[in-house]
Amino acid sequence: MKDLMAKLDRAFNPRSVAVVGDSTKLDYMWLNAMRTFQGEVYSVQVNPKDIPHIQKLGFDNYHSLLDIPGPVDYVVLSVPRKVVPQIISDCIQKGVAGVSLFTSGFAETHTEDGLEYQQRLTAMAEGAGLVLIGPNCMGIYNRRLGLRQNPEQPVGEGGEVGFISQSGTHAVLLSLAGAYHGIKLSKSVSYGNAIVLDSPDYLEYMAQDPETRVIAMYIEGVKEGRRFFEVLRRAARAKPVVVWKGGRTEDGFRATSSHTAALAQSPQVWHALVKQCGAIQVDSFDSLLDTLKVLLHCKPTTGHNLALVAMSGGQSVAIADAFTEAGFRAPPLTETSYRELASFFDIIGGSYQNPFDIAWNVPSVEGVMKLIGIVDRDENIDGIVLEIGVFFLERRWREKWADNIAGLIDALARFKAQSRKPLLVVVVPTNREEAALELMARLGDKGIPGLPSFERGAVALRRVVDYYRARHALGQ
């Protein structure tokens, strides 16, 4: 196991990369993705039509992997299926640590020759101790090193989320959407058919990785269920693990079977076992994104008592229903808090009962922060949820919108830094979708979780609070 973890670490943190078989058919996607890689990048291509284009991109091209001078840590393989065994043989001879196989056409085709090719590759890789990722996958992404699966992925300062995905699309999408919401990945891997390494191997690695604080997973199926749940239990004791299971329905499972040749698991049994392991379960890309936001950017709490702050009377009812249905409460404040609120809060046109209808009472940034400061000090409150109604505040602040919203974001960031309670912001767009998306991105940049609806915010917060309550019950 130590040897495998060392090889995985070399593949996830390579000093040199070779792309085998990139071509005009893919618009040189892999080489363009590697433009940001901080180490050496080599191309291997024998087609004379492609070589001039590759050289024009600025990469040295070789006719064989074995011709490359010096070691190669990680190889991306994008060649026709019939050529794959020879290239794998070259990788073994070259001493490559890890290979991601973009090529498809194996067991997922449910054909005899596809299965035979897959069995042959499995035997070659396992016999040589080669880390073979895939086939039918996008391989590894390391934000800090500029090692990418797609030319659009962000690079720069590494994040805290490690993503293990059986889908290449989901792997790329989380890196793109996450960066827009304050979620940066440390590393991710798309592993496809998993003919040699499966999700437990990557989970074991991410659990030990010092750059990864939270682990996210998208899984269509596992081959060794007992081993998966044993590793998941250990990993979830070390750091939060969020699991999204694809193929929960009959039609969804049929899609996974043709996508990655996944094996069936009973949804009920799966849910029960993942829960026993202490992982957090989500059921969609949006719920994965929401849960990661709360895990990363909300202070931990095991409490269910919230201060719910809305911009109008109707919204105070809506926020109360959403969070109460998710299992939270909006309790009365202490008498001390009510006395403080009464000093500046006009009950006509609003309500300083919990949930709060601040309406026209708190039109300034200072007023909003004064209210939040009071409820933060209240011993009856475990966390705060604030609605920012974009339509409402744009009309209220008018020409001062830009300055006031910037001031509010900065004030919320300062508040979050000194408060011990979780703060969740719900950005309600109404007919201001673009402004709301921009606002959530700006909040994310400051480490403040912004969710697009009361319902999504309530469900995500409940998942995370339940996680902390379970850990607390186990003494962790």
Asked if residue 3 has pLDDT above 70, the reply is yes
The Cβ-side half-sphere exposure at 261, using a 13 Å CA radius, reads 22
Asked if residue 350 has pLDDT above 70, the reply is no
Please state, in angstroms and rounded to a whole number, the distance separating the CA atoms of residues 159 and 180: 13
- 318-343 pLDDT, tens digit each: 999 999 999 999 999 999 999 898 88
Please state, in angstroms and rounded to a whole number, the distance separating the CA atoms of residues 108 and 135: 10
Asked if residue 263 has pLDDT above 60, the reply is no
pTM: 0.93
Split at pLDDT 50, 70, 90, the class of 1 is low
Check: CB of residue 326 under 8 Å from CB of residue 451. no
Q: Backbone phi, then psi, for 188, in 5-degree steps?
A: -145, 160
Residues, the chain, total? 476
What are the start and end residues of each CATH 3.40.50.261 domain in the chain? 137-297, 302-473
What confidence score (pLDDT) does residue 259 get? 47
CATH architecture of the domain with residue range 137-297:
3-Layer(aba) Sandwich (3.40)
**Closest CA relative to residue 223, chosen from 243, 250, 193, 249:** 193
What are the start and end residues of each CATH 3.40.50.720 domain in the chain? 1-135
**Closest CA relative to residue 43, chosen from 12, 10, 67:** 67
Split at pLDDT 50, 70, 90, the class of 344 is confident
Please state, in angstroms and rounded to a whole number, the distance separating the CA atoms of residues 422 and 246: 30
Sheet containing 98-101: order of strands: 60-62, 40-44, 16-20, 74-77, 98-101, 131-133
Please state, in angstroms and rounded to a whole number, the distance separating the CA atoms of residues 37 and 97: 17
Compute, in degrees rounded to 10, the torsion defined by CA atoms 413, 418, 421, 426.
-10
**CB contact set of 438 (below 8 Å; sequence gap of 6+):** none
Which structure tokens are listed for 201? 């191997």
Q: Among residues of the chain, what percentage have pLDDT more than 70? A: 94
What confidence score (pLDDT) does residue 258 get? 47
My answer on whether omega of the bond before 355 falls inside 30° of 0, hence cis, is: yes
- What is each CA distance from 298 to 199, 383, 407, 421, in whole angstroms? 28, 9, 20, 8
CATH architecture of the domain with residue range 1-135:
3-Layer(aba) Sandwich (3.40)
Please state, in angstroms and rounded to a whole number, the distance separating the CA atoms of residues 262 and 281: 19
Which structure tokens are listed for 440? 């959530």
Instruction: Return the bridge partners of 329, or none.
Output: 305
Please state, in angstroms and rounded to a whole number, the distance separating the CA atoms of residues 423 and 384: 5
Please state, in angstroms and rounded to a whole number, the distance separating the CA atoms of residues 306 and 393: 23
> Which of these CATH numbers, 3.40.640.10, 1.10.10.10, 3.40.50.261, 3.10.20.30, describes 302-473?
3.40.50.261
